[in-house]
Amino acid sequence: MSTRLAKQGRLIDRSKQVTFTFNGTSMQGYEGDTLASALLANDQMMMGRSFKYHRPRGVVASGAEEPNALVGLGQGNRFEPNQRATTTELFNGLTSVSQNHWPNLEFDIGAVNTALARFLPAGFYYKTFIHPKPFWKHVYEPIIRQSAGLGKAPDKDNRDADTYEHFYAFTDVLVIGGGVAGLQAAMTAAESGAKVLLIEQTAHWGGRAPVDGGTINDEPVDKFVEQMVSKLETMSNVTMRNRCMGAGVYDHGYVLGYERLNDHKPGSQGPRHRLWRIRAKQVVTATGAIERPLSFAGNDVPGVMLAAAMRDYVVNWGVTPGERVIVATNNDDAYRTAIILKQAGVDVLRVVDARAAAGPLAEEARQLGIRVDPGKAIAKVKGGKRVKKVAICNQEGIGGAREEVECDAVAMSGGWSPVVHMWSHCGGKLIWDEAQAHFRPDPARPPLGANGEGFVVAAGASNGPLALGDVLTDAHAAGKAAAKAAGFKPKNTKAPAGEATQEAAMQAVWLMPANAEVQLRMKSWLDFQNDVKVSDVQLAAREGYESVEHTKRYTTLGMATDQGKLSNINGLAILADALESEIPKVGTTTFRPPYTPISMGAIGGEARGDVFQPIRQTPMHDWHDKNGADWEPVGHWRRTYAYVRPGESVHDAVNREVKNTRENLGLLDASTLGKLIVKGPDAGKFLDMMYTNMMSTLKVGKCRYGLMCSENGFLIDDGVVARIDEDTWLCHTTTGGAERIHGHMEEWLQTEWWDWKVYVANVTEQYAQVAVVGPNARKVLEKLGGMDVSKEALPFMEWRDGKIGDFDCRAYRISFSGELSYEIAVPASQGQAFWDALMDAGKEFGVMPYGTECLHILRAEKGFIMIGDETDGTVIPQDLGLHWALSKKKEDYLGKRAHSRSHMADPDRWKLVGLETVDGSVIPDGAYAVGEGVNANGQRNMIGRVTSTYYSANLGKGIAMGLIKHGPDRMGEIVEFPGTDGKTYKAKIVDPIFYDKDGEKQNV
């Protein structure tokens, strides 16, 4: 059984007991425990089930690389799936549940898959779920969906209770990893005067060196770590952060740090996670190395664990995963585990060493009475939910002549792989180190920064060296190199002297035994979470998958949430062997950020709830909100779609507003319309280029409706332009267009016509603008008093500055509704007061506010186009019958040349017409008109489409506009619009002006 030892546990505080639950059972642990160490202390070896076969899974590692021990943490609005027990700090009240099983962890129906495993090899899904095609929707897809996904998604109604944030940090040198290498590199860099940020993913400094032993400057490693940390803490140019993982390294020194502030104390004040968006001149990756499993049959049975993890549990948390342990290895380091276990009073039955000879650590083990078997291998581990027996055989051979030994845990070590993720994320290349049988950073090919030079330096074990002394020397050099590259002069110091027992060479062992028969290979796991075995990779190779990237996808090797931290190199070696190639030739899969999964909350940062995105508000926003506004997003703006009264439907409200505006008086908040001031001696010339119309000839005091095209000839915006004085024009843009058109103007002024004397300013938000519309519009303004708004004093398409009531304003006599209409601009800070005054004065004239849907219907009744409805980026003015707005006098304007391209002049282009349904119904939005015949795909030929379609309460029927092939020549013809509702809508082609064709109403 796994149990808490009487002594040891450098990270736990035995005076502080902590209560937590696992699958509803209450358990005890200590402060400083991880969830994994506490579960082991409670003899809970089995912590989950694998993804494909639902095999029992125990913890295999002690840190971020853990593939098995994934749990759902927390409850209700703090529930989170797929959390690694090995990196979860224990706290009082923690609740956890295991995953991927039903009905429970001990008895799981899905485990039947393991019995069927020989029928579910790699590629099973690809081969099976192909034919027959009709099975996809109703048979295959439900099956695949049912079995897809690991862990339970949080309840959608339980919104995350926590907050998150970003922080932009800037540093000369960023050191990722706070083990002895990271501490040393940070110190060396900081001593040069460079600003240093040091981040460490766990809650502790020093990494795994204190567990592995040895001395630094003749003192224990713990002591060295303590001294380094306290010295770094006093340095003003050093910032240190633990519980902060380096998640990804990106272009130009951009690095993401994932800080978990409150995971170990949920519900505390402040954000739960903080995403550090770091810009570093130089990055030192001191991310250590990860031990590799050995591939032998039954290496996935709970109780089989990485050798270094096993000693971590003993030394750090005072927990032993077993009472009778067998150690299997291909290197000397695993002997440290045997020795530490033995010294802790655990029975170490023997060390099975695949090599013929080992170094001094083996001798030390023997002297402690541990049996060492050279040249031996594990043939098979037996047991279901727990290791029961191990069959031992010779490493050479197929696994015959086995000796069985009863035990309850196996420690395995297949050598060490540097954590090269941070080096590789942004393009750092790797080289294969034959002696250590691992990939390590190639210092000649680092990731390149903005200046074309490398900006990442690997340090310590993540750079290849594994012995303590070598690690410190390497880290010291890395700190110097980074400081120098960041522009500082490193001090002439020496690396501290690290001493550890000498180790004999390791030997690459990719399979145990070397020529294991197929029954064994089918039980030798490479990827524990996704259930990929040695036999699967070999099958992929036989089926022709030569590229490691293809094999990965075919077998799902390394595609689980641990991203193959344990499995990749082993899988690669098996593939290389099967292809009769060499590992460096087969190459690695791509390392992509993040290093381990980071929370969606941290990625979103502050952008959630009511700050998910900016919502732009006009000065009258609150009034609209209090008066029944049904909101419509227009760009980032919120505009009122309709003002819904109690008891009304939205549709009722729209109809009421439409009728009232035509019959009495309507008010529209038009503040969102863009307003650009264009001024200068060349402003007229400039606007003549921007607009298709002639703007330079516009007289001061007058307005003109203008069209803007892109250089491609397509319509991009429209609006009314007013000439303010000799040098100054005010250009209205569409609501969504102010910033875009401002940018468009600046682009041409700055990059093409920079010698033209023109300045542009965006004054959109300086004004609250109200459209006062309807037969009573003049009456309400006259009641408020001030400027003369009579037909004579302020004719149609003119503007005046003056006062209305108490308000300084600019009044434009323009109309987008066909009614008598004024648009009045007042300073934004008086917008609400002005609106109130109009509402108050308008009572006797039947005033009602109206929204954007009413605006749309009124303009559609008049056949006025709307940018974004009648246009979609492929429509030219000629399509919309707007030839009158294309100046023939001008030699040039943006879009003019494009309009003479052959396709633009094609008589078959779809053209704007009005559409009137035969039965008065409303054509569905977006419907297409169909003609005779079918196209090559057997679809009805299309001859046009609806661009705007509404119910007009004024006309009592459905009206629409559309683009129809040869439309203007087909007046009176009936065209068909099949709807997605199965009905076909018949509509007559008519003139697009449905209401007041002569424009008499606006000209009063």
Partner 1 sequence: MSEPISALNHASYDGIATVEETGLQGMITLRGDLSDKVLAKAVKDATGKKMPGQREALVDGQTGVCWMSTDELLVLVPYADVEAKLAAMTNALSGTHALAVNVSDARAVFQISGMKAREVLGKLAPVELSAEAFQPGQIRRSRLAQVAGAFWMDDDQTFRVVCFRSAADYVFKLLKVAAQPGSEVGVY
Partner 2 sequence: MLILNCPYCGVDAEETELAAGGEAHLKRFGPGSSDNEFHDYLFMRENPRGVHFERWRHSNGCGKWFHAARCTQTLEVFGTYSAQTTEPPQEIKDAITAKRPGWKWRDYE
Angle between helical axes of 831-842 and 777-784 (0-180°, round to 10): 110
Distance CA 782, CA 791 (A): 12
With CB under 8 A as the contact rule, which of the stretches 476-484, 730-738, 741-749, 931-939 interacts with partner 2?
741-749
From the list partner 1, partner 2, none, which binds 291 (C-beta under 5 to 8 Å, kind-based)? none
From the list partner 2, partner 1, none, which binds 754 (C-beta under 5 to 8 Å, kind-based)? partner 2
Q: Of 388 and 896, which CB lies nearer to partner 2 in the complex structure?
A: 896
Distance CA 418, CA 612 (A): 39
Q: Of 454 and 605, which CB lies nearer to partner 1 in the complex structure?
A: 605
Query: Is residue 605 a contact partner of residue 164, using CB atoms and an 8 Å limit?
Result: yes
Single-letter code of the amino acid located at 549:
E
Q: Of 760 and 929, which CB lies nearer to partner 1 in the complex structure?
A: 760
With CB under 8 A as the contact rule, which of the stretches 22-30, 54-62, 212-220, 893-901 interacts with partner 2?
893-901
Give the one residue of 239, 599, 712, 728 binding partner 2; rule: CB under 8 A: 712
Tokens (6 digits) for 613? 């995105």
Whole-number minimum distance, CB 669 to partner 1, in Å?
Answer: 12
Q: How many chain residues touch partner 2 (CB under 8 A)? A: 28
Give the one residue of 10, 385, 445, 896 binding partner 2; rule: CB under 8 A: 896
With CB under 8 A as the contact rule, which of the stretches 21-29, 148-156, 251-259, 796-804 interacts with partner 2?
251-259
Cα end-to-end span (Å), the chain: 96
Whole-number minimum distance, CB 689 to partner 2, in Å?
Answer: 9
Whole-number minimum distance, CB 897 to partner 2, in Å?
Answer: 5
| 911 DSSP β-pair partners | 964
| 206 DSSP β-pair partners | 179
Query: Is residue 322 a contact partner of residue 407, using CB atoms and an 8 Å limit?
Result: yes
Taking CB under 8 A as the rule, does residue 659 contact partner 2?
no
Query: Is residue 747 a contact partner of residue 792, using CB atoms and an 8 Å limit?
Result: no
Give the one residue of 129, 250, 928, 951 binding partner 2; rule: CB under 8 A: 250
Largest CA distance in the chain: 114
Q: Of 641 and 834, which CB lies nearer to partner 1 in the complex structure?
A: 834
All residues at 6 or more sequence positions from 327 whose CB lies less than 8 Å from its CB, including other chains = 307, 334, 335, 337, 338, 348, 350, 351, 352, 410, 411, 412, 413
Q: Of 423 and 950, which CB lies nearer to partner 2 in the complex structure?
A: 423
Whole-number minimum distance, CB 755 to partner 2, in Å?
Answer: 8
Give the one residue of 16, 897, 983, 997 binding partner 2; rule: CB under 8 A: 897
From the list partner 2, partner 1, none, which binds 898 (C-beta under 5 to 8 Å, kind-based)? partner 2
Query: Is residue 320 a contact partner of residue 295, using CB atoms and an 8 Å limit?
Result: no
From the list partner 2, partner 1, none, which binds 250 (C-beta under 5 to 8 Å, kind-based)? partner 2
Q: Determine if the peptide bond prior to 321 is cis (ω within 30°).
A: no
Tokens (6 digits) for 351? 């060390």
Taking CB under 8 A as the rule, does residue 76 contact partner 2?
no
Place of tokens 């759902």: 72
From the list partner 1, partner 2, none, which binds 806 (C-beta under 5 to 8 Å, kind-based)? partner 1
Place of tokens 């001990």: 106
Give the one residue of 750, 935, 937, 980 binding partner 2; rule: CB under 8 A: 750
Taking CB under 8 A as the rule, does residue 442 contact partner 2?
no
Binding mask 401-440 for partner 2 (x = CB under 8 A): ----------------------------------------
Tokens (6 digits) for 12? 């736990």
From the list partner 1, partner 2, none, which binds 871 (C-beta under 5 to 8 Å, kind-based)? none
Q: What is the Cβ-side half-sphere exposure of residue 446, based on CA atoms within 13 angstroms?
A: 24
Whole-number minimum distance, CB 836 to partner 1, in Å?
Answer: 9
Single-letter code of the amino acid located at 920:
G
| 767 DSSP β-pair partners | 827
Residues in the site for partner 1, rule: CB under 8 A? Answer: 163, 165-170, 239, 268-271, 274, 277, 279, 605-607, 610-611, 613-619, 637, 677, 679-681, 757, 759-761, 763-767, 806-808, 827-830, 832-834
Q: How far is CA 196 from CA 273, 463, 470, in A?
A: 22, 20, 23
Taking CB under 8 A as the rule, does residue 613 contact partner 2?
no
> Could you say which residues in the range 337-376 bind partner 2, by CB under 8 A?
none
From the list partner 2, partner 1, none, which binds 618 (C-beta under 5 to 8 Å, kind-based)? partner 1
From the list partner 1, partner 2, none, which binds 926 (C-beta under 5 to 8 Å, kind-based)? none
Whole-number minimum distance, CB 482 to partner 2, in Å?
Answer: 18
With CB under 8 A as the contact rule, which of the stretches 262-270, 494-502, 750-758, 799-807 interacts with partner 2?
750-758
Taking CB under 8 A as the rule, does residue 603 contact partner 2?
no
3-state SS, 99-141, equals CCCCECCCCEHHHHHHHCHHHCCCCHHHHHCCCCCCHHHHHHH
From the list partner 1, partner 2, none, which binds 993 (C-beta under 5 to 8 Å, kind-based)? none
DSSP secondary structure of 737-757? GHHHHHHHHHHHHHHT-TTS-
Give the one residue of 117, 169, 203, 448 binding partner 2; rule: CB under 8 A: 448
Taking CB under 8 A as the rule, does residue 743 contact partner 2?
yes
All residues at 6 or more sequence positions from 95 whose CB lies less than 8 Å from its CB, including other chains = 20, 21, 73, 74, 75
Binding mask 278-317 for partner 2 (x = CB under 8 A): -x--------------------------------------
Taking CB under 8 A as the rule, does residue 746 contact partner 2?
yes
Single-letter code of the amino acid located at 50:
S
Percent helix, percent strand, percent coil in the chain, to nearest 5: 25, 30, 40
Q: Of 255 and 794, which CB lies nearer to partner 2 in the complex structure?
A: 255
> Could you say which residues in the range 199-238 bind partner 2, by CB under 8 A?
none
| 804 DSSP β-pair partners | 786, 807
Distance CA 385, CA 533 (A): 19
Whole-number minimum distance, CB 755 to partner 1, in Å?
Answer: 12
DSSP SS3 for 766 = helix
DSSP SS3 for 230 = helix
Phi, psi of 730 (to 5 degrees): -115, 120
Centroid of chain to Cα 369: 54
Whole-number minimum distance, CB 179 to partner 1, in Å?
Answer: 22
With CB under 8 A as the contact rule, which of the stretches 184-192, 461-469, 814-822, 892-900 interacts with partner 2?
892-900
From the list partner 1, partner 2, none, which binds 892 (C-beta under 5 to 8 Å, kind-based)? partner 2
Query: Is residue 311 a contact partner of residue 334, using CB atoms and an 8 Å limit?
Result: no
Query: Is residue 1000 a contact partner of residue 862, using CB atoms and an 8 Å limit?
Result: no
- The torsion defined by the Cα of 946, 950, 955 and 961, in degrees rounded to 10, comes to -20
With CB under 8 A as the contact rule, which of the stretches 443-451, 648-656, 791-799, 966-974 interacts with partner 2?
443-451
From the list partner 2, partner 1, none, which binds 614 (C-beta under 5 to 8 Å, kind-based)? partner 1
Query: Is residue 292 a contact partner of residue 583, using CB atoms and an 8 Å limit?
Result: no
Give the one residue of 489, 592, 901, 983 binding partner 2; rule: CB under 8 A: 901
Pairing relationship of beta strands 13-22 and 25-31 according to DSSP bridges:
antiparallel
Q: Which residues bind partner 2 (CB under 8 A)?
A: 250-254, 279, 448-452, 711-712, 743, 746-747, 750-752, 754, 891-892, 896-898, 900-902
